[in-house]
Amino acid sequence: MCGIVGCVLKNKEVAPILFDSISKLEYRGYDSIGLATGHNNKINLKKDAGKVAEVDAKLDLKDLDGTYGIAHVRWATHGDPSKVNSHPHLNNDGTIAVVHNGIIENYLSIKKELESEGYDFVSDTDTEVIPNLIDKYMKTGLDLTQAVRKVINVIEGAYALAAISVSEPNRIVATRKDSPLIVGIGEEEYFIASDSPAILKYTNNIAYLEKDELVILDEDGVSFLDENDNLIGKDVEVIQWSPDMAEKEGFPHFMIKEINEQSTTIRNTLNEKDNVQFIVDEIKEDINKVLFVACGTSYHASLTGKYLIESLAEIQTEVLLASEFKYSASSLNEKTLVIFISQSGETADTLKALDIANKSSKTLAIVNVRGSSATRRADYTIYTQAGPEIGVAATKTYIGQLVAIYLLASLLGDNENLIEKLYDVPRYIEEVLAKEDIIKHFSNKFKKLSKVPKYIKPILSMPHAYKGLKNNFRHVEDMFFIGRGYSYSIALEGALKLKEISYIHAEAYAGGELKHGPIALIDDDVPVVVLAPPGRDHRKIMSNLEEVKARGASIIGIGAIGDEDLISKSDYNFLINSEVDELIAPLVYIVPLQLLSYYVSVARNLNPDKPKNLAKCVTVE
């Protein structure tokens, strides 16, 4: 949901570094990009709608004079993705520039007031009120820091924002509330950024800003003010992520690189075992209920958690979408452990729910991004050791979340055997990845024809003759994924991946639920992915397979090597080591589905790293 960066250097041109840093945050928004630098009493500004590379090719964003500046990538909320709505935004006389991530909820009334005082507005954004408010306050004699403080006393909503003014050269003032902002402290180079990949190349020394604290970056260093404007010291954490982790390292996209990193993620997250044991020892005797709260992919990981904790630890477990939490969380008490799962640790709905739960219950965050808001607000934290995830679609962080959940459920249920099994999972995943060409080849069937060859035209003109061809998925716009028990959450996650990066409408159903309605949609144009790992539910999911096959669906079966029943009844299949039973299937069976969504996206000439309308971190409700 937008990325911001600011940088002050000593005697060095800032634009190339600013551009490099903001490019690393493109996963947070790719509707527009802009940079503003200060030089010789003037703000230099370049910005436009479009992806980073497109705008750079047009404007040469690295070519701006100045040693300090701010930059922004946008995921549009107020106002369409146009040049005029792009950040940075300026005050009327172009002497102050601001970048902002979040939403100013009361911007309309502020705008009206400013207009009545003679200020003009050129954009439809909520942000444009900020530079003009700063201008208004500075005209009363306040300095930039005092003016920013005054602004945050007036604006309501969520923000991480940074401002520069030509009247205070080589200075950035930044602050945050409900949107992330970190401070990077290098050698004669000082940064603020929405996330660490922006600055890892320059420094690993990171400090975290709390709500309504101010940070002032000067060419000589960094100072922090608390919410009462007292000068404060801050702990500086040296984070271990290296800049390479945020590079593609030879892969065509981050998503496929991250899919390939999943066995490493599992090994690293298993190292959290002692931390999980510590948490379990602290809470086990005091809880009689678990509630998971999360969004999207993290919600799907939570569903696996419900099945695991209920069956292994016999503790009643519920799962809620974070955005629905406030409507149904009245039964929380001190005996409830509320677990928040979030890759970013900054998802607005999840944080809102965490604040509510903190009032009555013990809270645990399972998070990937170190130092993120969720980790600072929850009673306990388990880190998914996935390293930075840049692809917008979550893959390796989902696997990390699952491992954390498996550890927690096993330790709550004293099931060391399951933990032993987890150490084999990286090998199973590597076996799947070694056969990725099968999925790549299959995914090519989804490629759309750019030009219909002449000889196909007569067939195309016959209704259904072309569409019904079982080995041809070019026309496919709807798919189903079915599973039971542990595999139901895999189906949900597989369908979400396909939707978000391939733009194919995909529905996931519990196998037993199909005949209660959705089976009406099945015909020979709707392929069905059937998740059929070995175990208790295998026979039942095979019956569900028969039901959809009888309605004409092409079957894509995902099951165990040697499962002759599945092989004979599927039109296509992908087979996995038969040691992977239904209990650990979520950790392995999701991988072919991630690969399917990735390769279908590529086959359809889409960019899997930057799906339309999405952003990596959703910091608005």
Active site residues: 2, 616
Q: Which residues within the stretch 394-413 sit at the binding site for ligand F6R (CB under 6 A)?
A: 394
Rank residues 88 and 586 by Cβ distance to ligand F6R and give the closer one: 586
- Residues 6 or more apart whose Cβ sits within 8 Å of residue 246: 24, 197, 200, 388, 390
Among 393, 405, 566, 584, binds ligand F6R (CB under 6 A): 393
Strand residues in 239-281 grouped as ranges (E)? none
Give the DSSP letter string of 383-396.
E-------SSS-SH
3-state secondary structure 197-209: HHCCCCCCEEEEC
Q: By CB under 6 A, how many residues form the interface with ligand F6R?
A: 15
Rank residues 190 and 380 by Cβ distance to ligand F6R and give the closer one: 380
* Bond into 88 cis (ω within 30): yes
Rg of the chain's alpha carbons, rounded to an integer?
Answer: 26
Q: Does residue 487 bind ligand F6R (CB under 6 A)?
A: no
Residue 498 Cβ vs ligand F6R, minimum distance, rounded to whole Å: 11
* CB burial readout 397-427, b (16+ within 10 A) else e: bbbbbbbbbbbbbbbbbebeebeebbebbbe
Q: Looking at 97-105, 193-201, 344-352, 598-606, which segment touches ligand F6R (CB under 6 A)?
A: 344-352
Q: Does residue 618 bind ligand F6R (CB under 6 A)?
A: yes
Residue 394 Cβ vs ligand F6R, minimum distance, rounded to whole Å: 4
Q: Does residue 500 bind ligand F6R (CB under 6 A)?
A: yes
Place of tokens 């989804």: 446
Rank residues 91 and 443 by Cβ distance to ligand F6R and give the closer one: 443
Q: Which residue is nearest to ligand F6R (CB)?
A: 296
Alpha carbon distance 544, 569 (integer Å):
12
Residue 347 Cβ vs ligand F6R, minimum distance, rounded to whole Å: 3
Q: Does residue 344 bind ligand F6R (CB under 6 A)?
A: yes
Evaluate the CA torsion angle 456, 462, 463, 464 in order and state its sign.
negative
Q: Looking at 341-349, 416-424, 456-464, 479-487, which segment touches ligand F6R (CB under 6 A)?
A: 341-349
Tokens of 233: 């010291």
Residue 366 Cβ vs ligand F6R, minimum distance, rounded to whole Å: 9
Q: In the Cβ-directed half-sphere of 473, how many Cα atoms lie within 13 Å? A: 24
Question: Phi first, then psi: what are they for 221, rounded to 5°?
Answer: 150, -165
Rank residues 393 and 422 by Cβ distance to ligand F6R and give the closer one: 393
Q: Show the DSSP H helices in 551-607 as ranges.
A: 564-569, 585-603
Alpha carbon distance 178, 198 (integer Å):
19
Residue 295 Cβ vs ligand F6R, minimum distance, rounded to whole Å: 4
Residue 375 Cβ vs ligand F6R, minimum distance, rounded to whole Å: 12
Alpha carbon 354 to chain centroid, angstroms: 18
Q: Does residue 504 bind ligand F6R (CB under 6 A)?
A: no
Residue 61 Cβ vs ligand F6R, minimum distance, rounded to whole Å: 28
Interaction mask 264-303, ligand F6R, x per CB under 6 A: -------------------------------xxxx-----
Rank residues 23 and 298 by Cβ distance to ligand F6R and give the closer one: 298
Q: Does residue 583 bind ligand F6R (CB under 6 A)?
A: no
Q: Does residue 261 bind ligand F6R (CB under 6 A)?
A: no
**Which residues are bridge partners to 364 per DSSP?**
339, 380
Contact residues for ligand F6R, defined by CB under 6 A: 295-298, 342-344, 347, 350, 393-394, 496, 500, 617-618
